[in-house]
A and B are shown apart, each in its own frame.
Chain A
Amino acid sequence: MKLLSLYIKSFRGATQPVTVEFDRSKKITMLFSENGNGKSTIADALICLCTDKMGSLDDKSSIDKSFLKSLGTGSGETKITLNTDAGGFSTSISGSAKTFTKNPATGQPFLKFLRRSQIVNLINSQASDRYTALKDYLDVSNIYSGEEALRKALREVERDLDNSASTLQSAIDTLEKCWKEEGSPDVDMLGWAKKQTEVDLSKEESAYRVLAELVAQWQTIGNKQKEINQHQALVTTSEKNKQDFSAILKKLEASSKKNAPALLTLLQEAKTYISAQVTIDKCPVCENGIVKTTVMTSLDAQIKSMSSLQKATKDLDAATKTYDRNVVILNTSIGSINTLLLKYKDSISKYVSKVPEIAPFVNGIKTDPSVNYNLYVDCYTQLQTLYVRIETSAVKKKKSIDQHTLIKNQYNNIIQNAEKAEKLTALKSATSRALVIVETARKEFYDNELLSISSEVEQMYQKIHPAEGLGGIKLFLNPKFKNSLELQANFHTEQGITPQSVYSESHLDTLGICIFLALAKKYSDGNNVLILDDVVMSVDENHLDRFIQLLHDEAINFSHILVTTHYRPWKDRYKNNRAPASNVHFIELRTWSRQNGIRVFNGRIALDELRQMLNDTGNFHRENISAASGRILENILDFLTIKFNCRVPRKPKNDYQLGELLDGLSKDLLKNFKVEHFEKDINGKYSSVLKQVDLKPLIDKLKMLKAVRNQVGAHYNFDGSLVNDGDVEEFGNATVEFAELLICPECGALPDRNKSGSYWETKTGSIKLYPLIEP
């Protein structure tokens, strides 16, 4: 997946919308700026878009996510859009939301990133924290979760198997008991049980149901009889009460003629009548004149004098009503029991021949409830005897049926649980084997991954630190602790030491980078984006060159590498063709301001800048051409004098100037000093010589013109003014010619490789530089 452009609006340092255009022909993009100009904003934008991480904000202990938005954005939209050759991806934060909404929601480019803080965490932290630092790469927690689920499944299967075995044993014990109770018939208990389950019990069950019905009917009759007995007792009691109150009343009537209940009734009715009249002055019986109040007073007095009679009358009424009610209830119960008796008579009539004692009852039952009830009472003993026989028979049949049912159930239990246990045993075996496979695979995978990564790290590290007595890098999980990632290395004669103890800070830095790079490479399918965000702090020249070389060697494993750095020597290695500049797209960020936001400029190598100055005939800048040519020549000659171990004046800082470097090229060297340029064959390989050029004439020319650099390009003096533009242009053109003869047109690097043992060549093989060493 090639990155084409990145648009950032209102995200962190992007106070103004900014677009970063990527050169799709270059695998590596170098984003250079001094600190605080927006490098991390651009790296973080990609990280926020392509991952669920927050980029450099994740390093901060307390993050206010509102600062994901640029200052002054308010409720406006933050948006990041990435265009690739596989389509567009965007993410945004709208309104007061603090999380990103991605579009599309999935399928973003796969991106890994490395920041300096991660290197520090990786190297300096404890083994458990080191595991956490690499968790994104090494985390197999999903697999472990599945392994735990499998372990749980095994526990459940074992538990089910135990339960099934227990149920099976219980069924066998119960059946064996039944079998022994039956006298251990047949030789085989299960064979016997199987036969028992095949016995047809329908007739037995039918007979039992009939007997059970008779038992139930007789018990219902018995319950009804109890009710009747209770009602009978109430009738007797209430009848006695009625008789007692009647005797009291008769006694009162006999004691005085005035105690006649009829008179009391008359007086009460007269009182009721007169009190209801508004005015009355005549007696309604004799029509004599009366006074209402006088008559009412007299009536009250008479009624009061008859209070005993009044009470006795009321008591007798109440007792009579109670008695009548009890009689009705009793008769109703007798009616109910009659219904039951009629039904029972029908049910037992078939037993008359076998139990003749019940014949009077069966034959005597007619329609009159009272008669039937009395007959039942008379025949109760015979009927109860019959009931006992029926019940005994029912219990016996029930026991027989239950025994068969028990045998059947236990037999079925045994068959079913034996089958279940067989299946569970197979499942337990399969689960156990699966668990061993999963657990072993996980551990082996992890060990192999770490071994493989260790090997890769070692190779990378040796590229940066060859023959330094370092290496032997080994990453491994400490088996004593969970998620504990150990790191060991060699240091000269010491084996398996912790590198933090003895390695220098810059060596630890490169070790951390190599570990991350190896991991990112390991899990990249060649289509992943890698971000190295300011990972190089300060590295010496040699190590920097080797690191750059390593990065270019590994670039093939990624679709795109974005390098951000504030380390100017790194950028200058490219700018001056001391590294494969043609493979790198330069972007420079200029000073950030809130008003202007992030300012992006495409950087160029020094040689391109010189070419442009020479081509810009309308604005011929002699001083800049002279200065730029001088710097380019110093850079190339610095490279050459080192390669050929040339003799130059000894200086404390090795800050040689153009003249010193040119003079460092000895006569013997210049005699043989030549380059061969090759062109590609049909297979894309540089195989046939395109041209061969002796360098001595050009060196001689540059020696003649070298004064231009100081006189025009470095100082203000009278001699400089005397140098004509033609000499300046010639100096510039000779510099370009010299550079083009030595710099690979494909990768942009100088011939720094010794593969043949007889010349230097560029990485691509496009240029060969002779000789290999100064003769």
Chain B
Amino acid sequence: MNNINEILAAQIVEKLKAEKLINANDTKLVSKLSNGSMKDADWKIALEEIINTQKVRKSSKK
């Protein structure tokens, strides 16, 4: 891996996954983040996805 942006993007995404802020299966975030195409809407979608998932889990437990 040569691109400093790719290295840092991979580190950031790993940390976000570790904190369960984004889906562990997400594969697009690293490339979007490293190539500078990450938009505010992309962040919302990624963060909402896991919030919605957690909500569904809570609902199903009830």
CB contacts (< 8 Å) of A431 on chain B: these are 43-44, 47
Interchain CB contact under 8 A, A438 and B35: no
Quick check: B11 and A445 within 8 Å, CB to CB?
A: yes
A143 within 8 A of B: yes
The interface residues of chain B lying within 8 Å CB-to-CB of A442 are 8, 12
Q: Is the CB of B19 within 8 A of A149?
A: no
Interface residues of B in 5-60 (CB under 8 A from A): 5, 7-9, 11-12, 15-16, 19, 21-22, 32-36, 38-44, 47-48, 50-51, 55
A701 contacts the other chain (Cβ, under 8 Å)? no
Contacts of A528 in B (CB 8 A): 2
The residue among A140, A145, A146 with the most chain B CB atoms within 10 A of its own CB is A146
- A434 touching B5, Cβ below 8 Å: no
**CB closest residue in chain B, given A156:** B40
Closest to B9 in A: A143
Q: A145-B36, A441-B11 known; A139 and B4 CB under 8 Å?
A: yes
CB distance from A161 to the nearest CB of B (A): 13
Q: How far is the CB of A153 from chain B (nearest CB, A)?
A: 4
- A146-B32, A445-B11 known; A152-B16 Cβ under 8 A: no
A426 interface residue per 8 A CB criterion? yes
**Chain B, Cβ-Cβ closest to A136:** B4
A143–B42 CA distance with the chains assembled, in angstroms: 14
Residues of B within 8 A of A153 (CB): 40-41, 43-44, 47
Chain A: residues with Cβ within 8 Å of the partner, total of 33
Contact A145 B4 (CB under 8 A): no
Residues on B with C-beta less than 8 A from A138 are 4
Contacts of B50 on A, CB cut-off 8 Å? 430
Which of chain A's residues have a CB closer than 8 A to the CB of B15? Answer: 437, 441
Query: Is B33 a contact partner of A143 (Cβ separation < 8 A)?
Result: yes
Bound complex: CA of A152 vs CA of B43, how far in Å? 10
B21 touches A437 (CB 8 A): yes
Given contacts A143-B9, A143-B33, A441-B15, contact A430 B47 (CB under 8 A): yes
CB < 8 Å A-B pair total: 94
Determine how close the nearest CB of chain B comes to the CB of A127; give it in whole angstroms.
Answer: 19
* A709 CB to nearest B CB, Å: 52
- Contact of A437 with B19 in the complex, beta carbons under 8 Å: yes
Q: Is the CB of B51 within 8 A of A427?
A: yes
Chain A: CB-nearest residue to B41? A153
Name the prevailing secondary structure of the B interface residues. Answer: helix
Within 8 Å by CB of B16, from A110, A142, A437, lies: A437
Docked complex Cα distance between A423 and B50 (Å)? 12
Query: Given A143-B33, A438-B12, is A427 in contact with B5 using a C-beta cutoff of 8 Å?
Result: no
Taken together as a complex, chains A and B put the C-alpha atoms of A430 and B53 apart, in Å, by 14
Those of A415-437 within 8 Å (CB) of chain B: 423, 426-427, 430-431, 433-434, 437
Contact among B5, B21, B42, B43 with A142 in the assembled complex (CB-CB below 8 Å) = B5
Q: Is the interface of A mostly helix, strand, loop or mixed?
A: helix
- Separation of A657 and B59 alpha carbons in the complex (Å): 94
- Tell me whether B4 and A149 are in contact (CB under 8 A): no
Query: What is the bound-complex CA distance between A55 and B47, given in angstroms?
Result: 43
B34 to chain A, nearest CB (A): 6
Chain A residues, CB < 8 A from B22: 434
Please determine whether B2 and A149 come into contact, CB atoms closer than 8 angstroms: no
B39 and A142 within 8 A (CB): no
Q: Would A142 and B1 count as touching, CB distance under 8 A?
A: no
Shortest Cβ distance from B18 into A: residue? A437
Shortest Cβ distance from B40 into chain A, in angstroms? 4
User: Which of A146, A426, A523 is close to B4, meaning CB atoms less than 8 Å apart?
Assistant: A523
Tell me whether A23 is interfacial, beta carbon within 8 Å. Answer: no
| Cross-interface CB contact of B38 among A149, A437, A525, cutoff 8 Å | A149
Give per-residue flags for A123-162: 1 if the beta carbon is below 8 A from chain B beta carbons, else 0. 0000000000000011111110110011011001100000
Known interface pairs A423-B51, A523-B2. Does A157 touch B44 (Cβ–Cβ under 8 Å)? yes
B12 close to A142 (CB less than 8 A): no
Residues of B near A145 (CB, < 8 A) are 36, 38
Candidate in A143, A152, A157, A427 with the most chain B CB atoms within 10 angstroms: A143
Evaluate whether A140 and B2 lie within 8 angstroms (CB atoms) in the complex, with A427-B47, A434-B16 already known: no
Whether the Cβ atoms of A141 and B44 lie closer than 8 Å is: no
Asked whether A426 and B21 contact (CB < 8 A) given A143-B12, A145-B38, A149-B42, the answer is no
Q: Which residue of B lies closest to A434 (CB)?
A: B21
Contacts of A77 in B (CB 8 A): none
Contacts of A241 in B (CB 8 A): none
When each residue 336-359 of chain A gets 1 if its CB lies under 8 Å from chain B and 0 otherwise, what string results?
000000000000000000000000
Which of A140, A434, A445, A525 is B47 in contact with, Cβ under 8 Å? A434
B residues less than 8 Å from A94 (CB atoms) = none
* Across-interface contacts of A445 in B (CB, < 8 A): 7-8, 11
A138 to B19 alpha-carbon distance, docked (Å)? 27
- Complex: how many Å from CA A143 to CA B34? 6
Asked if A197 is at the interface of the complex by the 8 Å CB criterion, the answer is: no
Instruction: Tell me the smallest distance from the CB of A144 to a CB of chain B, in Å.
Output: 9
Q: Are A141 and B12 in contact (CB under 8 A)?
A: no
**In the assembly, what is the distance between CA of A152 and CA of B38, in Å?**
11
Q: Once the chains bind, are B33 and A142 in contact (CB under 8 Å)? A: yes
Contact B8 A524 (CB under 8 A): no
- Complex interface: chain A residues within 8 A of B12 (CB): 143, 437-438, 441-442
Cβ-closest 6 pairs across A and B: A142-B36, A146-B38, A153-B40, A152-B40, A142-B5, A153-B43
Other contacts beyond A149-B42, A427-B48, A445-B11: 11, CB < 8 A: A138-B4, A140-B5, A141-B36, A142-B9, A146-B43, A149-B38, A153-B44, A423-B51, A430-B47, A437-B21, A441-B12
Q: Report which A residues bind B (CB closer than 8 A).
A: 110, 137-143, 145-146, 149-150, 152-153, 156-157, 423, 426-427, 430-431, 433-434, 437-438, 441-442, 445, 449, 523-525, 528
